[in-house]
Structures are given as C-alpha cells and as structure tokens.
Amino acid sequence: MTEEIKNMLAQTPTPPYYAVIFSSIMNKELEGYHEMANAMVELAEQQAGFLGMESAREEVGITVSYWRSLSDIHSWQQNSKHLAAQKLGRSVWYKDFTVRISKVEKCYGFSS
Amino acid sequence: MTEEIKNMLAQTPTPPYYAVIFSSIMNKELEGYHEMANAMVELAEQQAGFLGMESAREEVGITVSYWRSLSDIHSWQQNSKHLAAQKLGRSVWYKDFTVRISKVEKCYGFSS
C-alpha cells in the first residue's frame, strides 16, 4: 500500500462513478502478500479510469477503489499481472473475500 | 463495534441493494467515540432494510453498511439518535469524512 493512499481519503469527481468494494479475511500465510499488495496499488493507479482508493484492515480488510466506468473496472480485472495476483490471492492469502461492484450515486463530506 | 461485525464478512442478498461507504480520518480526541460507535452499530442493526456491515480502521477508517433501498438509508440517516451521533462526529471525533451512497449491481465471492 503506498503511503499516500494509506493516509488519505480519496478525492473523487462528482458522481456518478463506480466503487469496487473488496472485503476480505486473510489466511495466516502472508508470505509475499504485502509486496504484491503494494505492486497492485501502484499498477491500479496507472490504469485508465482509476479515480482513487481507500484501504484499512483489522480482522476484516476493506479496500474500496473508485473508477470512471464499468468498462475501466473490467479492463483492470483482466489485466494480466492483476489476474496472476488474483490467482495467488485465492490459493494462498485469502480465507474469504467478497467483491461488490457498485455505482456511486451521491457523495458528500466534511473536513474540519 | 459488535464482535460479530468486526470478525465477519457481511452476508448480503442477491443485488441490487445499496451500500453506504463511510470513509473517515479521526481527530486525536476520541473520548466517548467507541461507546457511541458500538451503540450506533446496534441501532443500525435494528433498522428496517439493514442488510449488514463491514468495518476496519488503520490511518483511514472504512465502514460499509448495506441496505435494501435508498428510502431505508434515508430513514436511518434521519434517526434522532443517529442525528445526535452525527453532530458529535462532526464537532469532536472526525477530522475528515466522506459518505458515498452507491447501488450494488454485482457481487461475487470466494470462500476457502
């Protein structure tokens, strides 16, 4: 995870846009995970239509990435390096995960 | 946060349904926060249309709650105890937050 993403809220454009909500529970075997997670964040940031990302983990991990369109999400999901990471995720690192693809209709915030 | 919610992925019905993505950065002043957060989780679980919740915090906190409809989300946002909690959140606990209301169109998962 890059430091910038770990420490900040995503700055996204006016809706509509899309959010991919990735919720997960890890296995105990984490060898290679953090390096891969960092690499995938850096790769995601380079994809067309990437708008931002937020991530946190306690018992459950939640990563929400924001995208311009469903087609941009599909392209990222089919990226060859991302596909290899997904395969390792299923076979080694994740005990359970859920991916939800959602259309952001409204966004508001507060900054002190 | 109730233990059940902290340790599990939400079990939601087939889409469509709605997700409220609440991302936040806390202030240093946290007096009363955890008690209020627990109380709000318990209250949310009792609301009509509540489908589940996932939550994690590191530098950024992310809580995603799932709801049957926009109208259920609106009712929860206008709940008087929740309004009081939101007011304290803005004035005391949160440095920054973003609320995104999104329609979940697709959901898939993996369980080992």
- Classify residue B112: in a domain, yes or no: no
- Classify residue A111: in a domain, yes or no: no
Kindly state the average pLDDT of the residues A92-105: 97
Which CATH number fits the domain that encloses residue A94? 3.30.70.100
Amino acid at A1: M
Position of tokens 């005990």? Answer: A95
Cα separation, B16 vs B35, whole angstroms: 32
Burial class (CB in 10 A: 0-12, 13-18, 19+), A62: buried
Q: Could you read off the pLDDT of B60-88 as tens digits, one per residue?
A: 999 999 999 999 999 999 999 999 999 99
Confidence tier at A6 by pLDDT (50, 70, 90):
low
Side-chain-side CA neighbours of B1 within 13 Å: the count stands at 20
ipTM of the complex: 0.94
Kindly state the average pLDDT of the residues B87-99: 95
B43 to chain A, closest Cα gap in Å: 21
Cα separation, A106 vs B98, whole angstroms: 10
- Classify residue A96: in a domain, yes or no: yes
Query: B-side interface with A, Cβ within 8 Å?
Result: 6-10, 12, 15, 19, 21, 23-25, 27, 54-62, 64, 90, 94-112
- Classify residue A110: in a domain, yes or no: no
CB distance B89 to B61 below 8 Å: no
A2 pLDDT above the threshold of 80? no
Cα separation, B99 vs B7, whole angstroms: 23
Side-chain-side CA neighbours of B110 within 13 Å: the count stands at 20
Query: A-side interface with B, Cβ within 8 Å?
Result: 6-10, 12, 15, 19, 21, 23-25, 27, 54-62, 64, 90, 94-112
Q: Cβ contact (<8 Å) for A110 and B103?
A: no
Q: Could you read off the pLDDT of A57-76 as tens digits, one per residue?
A: 999 999 999 999 999 999 99
Total count of domains within chain B: 1
Residue B52 belongs to domain spanning: 3-104
B5 pLDDT above the threshold of 80? no
A105 to chain B, closest Cα gap in Å: 5
